[in-house]
Amino acid sequence: MTGWRTLFYKEVLRFWKVGFQTVAAPVMTAILYLMIFGHVLSEHVKVYDSVPYTAFLLPGLAMMSLLQNAFANSSSSLIQSKVMGNLVFLLLTPLSHWAWYVAYVGSSVVRGLVVGLGVLLATVWFTDLQLVAPLWVLVFAFLGAALMGSLGVIAGLWADKFDQMAAFQNFIIMPMTFLSGVFYSIHSLPAFWQQVSHFNPFFYIIDGFRFGFFGVSDVSPWHSLSVVTVALLLVGGFALHLLRTGYKIRH
């Protein structure tokens, strides 16, 4: 068991040593989003009857930052190791594909949770934020970070160059996170786009996470939990398969 723990520790140190870039910068970005959207739309948008728009916005921004940084952690680590050529040192070790997966995804979960908590602590002063069901908050935060960490492993194995990784993040991850209900409730959308939103797993992560704060959501939290769990099993299983077969690692 020491092998995966060593790799996990190395991956955590990798982002922690540049914490100003990997943790403080996303928190600052979320604060700017809150100040701009909260100030402009707080008097014009009413999502839930008992929830001010600024309070509605906070969990969405925290989860959006969590998802994006969990993905960035595992994907950037793998692509940097492949481009710089130091991935060979991991191939020389007797680590199994499970050890790789647990270390890379586990460190992504840590980074995602740290960034998400930092966003909440930095923005909670802007409004009165409730916490109705803390267990739902923790469950969706963990599942969301694990899902994005697994997706980051897939992207990091697939990409051969930094521009391929940037394309994956800019054309897949960013649109799916921004169109997942961070800034709005899907009930404010036309019927067609409401149906489209239900095919976005990020929507269920953010909606279930938001339920833990306010006790209200666009869909049942149990339904969100089932969708996110199935998505994690599928994406995690595919990531493990790629690691087991050495996809784009051993050539």
Chain segment 233-245, per-residue pLDDT in tens: 999 999 999 999 9
Please give the structure tokens belonging to residue 128. 């009165």
Task: For residue range 28-66, list pLDDT tens digits in order.
Answer: 999 998 888 777 766 666 677 777 888 888 999 999 999
Confidence at 103, pLDDT banded by 50, 70, 90: very high
In a domain, 6, yes or no: yes
Q: What is the mean pLDDT of the chain?
A: 90
Is residue 140 predicted with pLDDT exceeding 90? yes
Instruction: Round to whole Å and give the CA distance between 22 and 118.
Output: 11
Please give the structure tokens belonging to residue 64. 């959006």
pTM for this prediction: 0.92
In a domain, 127, yes or no: yes
In a domain, 251, yes or no: no
Q: How many independent structural domains does the chain possess?
A: 1
In a domain, 101, yes or no: yes
In a domain, 29, yes or no: yes
Q: What's the domain range around 172?
A: 2-245
- Per cent of the chain over pLDDT 90 is 61
In a domain, 194, yes or no: yes
Looking at residue 119, what is its pLDDT?
Answer: 94
Q: Is the dihedral of CA 33, 34, 35, 41 positive or negative?
A: positive
Instruction: Name which of 199, 216, 197, 200 is nearest 208 in CA terms.
Output: 216
In a domain, 190, yes or no: yes
Confidence at 193, pLDDT banded by 50, 70, 90: confident
Looking at residue 35, what is its pLDDT?
Answer: 84
In a domain, 250, yes or no: no
